[in-house]
Chain A
Amino acid sequence: MGRGFYDLYVSASCLSITTLAKLREEGFKGVGAVVSIDDISSAPDRCFATLDRAEEEGLSVGIDVVRRLAIDRQLRSSQVKKILRKWRRSFEVISVHALTRELTAFACRDGRVDVVTLIPGSRMLKGDLYYISEYSKAVELLLVFLQEGKPHNRANALSFYRRTLLTLERKRMLKHLVFSSGAYSPFNIRDPRSMASLLHMLGIPYEDALAALSVNPTSLIKKCRDKLSGRIPVRGVEIVDE
């Protein structure tokens, strides 16, 4: 049986039936339909309608669409807490972009955040890595920063990703790594094995690179869905069917 690849970060607005079919052909089993915090604050009904449509079309094509909220704006932790209180149960996966130290530290500490998305320039300290490991969160890297921008910026991004991967490997935290495309248009989507080859060339074993696109996101999604459905009522407790 083949691996089930997931691209956990694709903008929901670009998820048409052709994009979903393209994802299927590329070899993906599922996709994370991402809604940003600006969109959900300004037009929540439209966002949910887009997500519902994407889910239906994904079902027809054979792609598992995961609802995801990305907090990708620089906010104070009190504002993020308000957002999490309001929208936690409406989305399967919630992520926070590590834009500032305060936001990064809060995202690693708070149990309601599932993914911490690192952008070039983010700083993660020892305590952040401890919380990520403790709460079984995921650390996400996005391909889009390596595809776009001036060569100097792309080189900086490559260097940042290499350092991050070496840190995660040294701390034995590669099972928390997730690699996504970060696509906001169908032209940013690449096939999963090429993405894994890129991670491998940055210094981690190829098997771990493949796991960052398959096993790790799959287990994260399963855990998040179990939490929402009530199978995991509190951390460390799971209701097993008799």
Chain B
Amino acid sequence: MNSRGRFLAKDKCRVRGSAHVVHRYLILVTENPDRAFEKLKKAVLELWGINGLAITGLKQMSVYSEKNALIVRVEREGLHMLRAAIAASSEPIARVVKVTGSCRKAKRIAESLPSQRQDFKHVNPR
């Protein structure tokens, strides 16, 4: 604290302690962006369990229906877990276009994607 009783920047860091969490933002392209987030959570839960879901800390940030894209936030420690769950899922959930460190950049990339992407042209027989 300084003489006026205000916290200095270094004190703020000390007060915050280890609560600082780093996130990564994934831009995903999928057939059905409205249901993709639930499928992602289910895939993580199936492969890594409740603890895995907690470590990944998934949150849906934005959905771009006209571009078949969505942005998902994940904790940095859970990034590989999420990608592994996408790989090991029994049905294709989404394709990861880019992983960024900031939400703003993720939104810029998602907005630059062409509209009405048809990546998954096949009809899933299941």
Binding site for A on B (CB under 8 A): 46, 79-84, 86-92, 95-96, 119, 121-122, 124, 126
B83: which A residues are within 8 A, CB to CB?
193-194, 197-198
A26 touching B95 by the CB < 8 A rule? yes
A148 to B83, CA, bound (A): 17
Measured in the bound complex, the distance between the Cα atoms of B122 and A94 in whole Å is 30
A18-B122, A22-B119, A25-B119 given; A187·B91 CB < 8 A: yes
Instruction: Report A-chain residues with C-beta under 8 Å of the C-beta of B90.
Output: 147-148
Min CB distance B107 to A, Å, is 21
Measured between C-beta atoms, what is the minimum distance from A185 to chain B in Å?
A: 8
Q: Is the CB of A197 within 8 A of B122?
A: no
Q: Contact at A198–B122, with CB atoms within 8 Å?
A: no
A194/B86 contact (C-beta < 8 A), A25-B95, A187-B91, A200-B80 known: yes
Q: Evaluate contact between A191 and B95: CB separation under 8 angstroms.
A: yes
Q: In A196-213, which residues have CB < 8 Å from any B CB? A: 197-198, 200-201, 206
Q: Flag if B122 contacts A186 (CB, 8 Å).
A: yes
Contact of A194 among B84, B91, B126 (CB under 8 A): B84
Distance in angstroms between the alpha carbons of A151 and B45 in the assembled complex: 13
What's the nearest-Cβ distance from chain A to residue B84, in Å?
A: 4
Which residue among B82, B87, B121, B126 has the maximum number of chain A CB atoms within 10 Å of its CB? B87
In contact, A143 and B122 (Cβ under 8 angstroms)? no
Nearest A residue to B121 via CB reads A18
Residues of A near any B CB (own CB < 8 A)? 18, 22, 25-26, 143, 146-148, 151, 154, 186-187, 189-191, 193-195, 197-198, 200-201, 206
Are B89 and A201 neighbours in the complex by a CB distance under 8 Å?
no
Please report the C-alpha to C-alpha distance between residue A30 and residue B84 in the assembled complex, in whole angstroms. Answer: 22
Complex CA gap A74/B13 in Å reads 63
* 14 more CB-based (< 8 A) A-B contacts, given A197-B79, A197-B80, A206-B80: A22-B121, A25-B95, A143-B88, A147-B89, A148-B90, A186-B122, A190-B92, A195-B87, A197-B81, A197-B87, A198-B84, A198-B87, A201-B80, A201-B81
**Docked CA distance A25–B122 (Å):** 15
Cross-chain pairs A/B with CB under 8 angstroms, 21 sampled? A18-B122, A22-B119, A26-B95, A143-B87, A186-B122, A189-B92, A190-B87, A191-B86, A191-B87, A191-B96, A194-B83, A194-B96, A195-B87, A197-B79, A197-B81, A197-B84, A198-B87, A198-B88, A200-B80, A200-B84, A206-B80
Residues of B within 8 A of A191 (CB): 86-87, 95-96
CB-CB nearest in chain B for A198? B84
Q: List the B side residues contacting A206 at CB < 8 Å.
A: 80
**With a CB–CB cut-off of 8 A, which chain B residues contact A193?**
83, 96
> Whole-angstrom distance between the alpha carbons of A194 and B28 in the complex?
12
Q: In the complex, what distance in Å separates the CA atom of A6 from the CA atom of B93?
A: 21
Instruction: Please indicate the chain A residues that have their CB under 8 angstroms from the CB of B84 in the complex.
Output: 194, 197-198, 200-201
CB neighbours of A26 from chain B (8 A): 95
- Closest Cβ neighbor of A147 among chain B residues: B90
Q: Which residues of B contact A25 (CB under 8 A)?
A: 95, 119
Selected contact of A190 from candidates B46, B81, B86, CB within 8 Å: B86
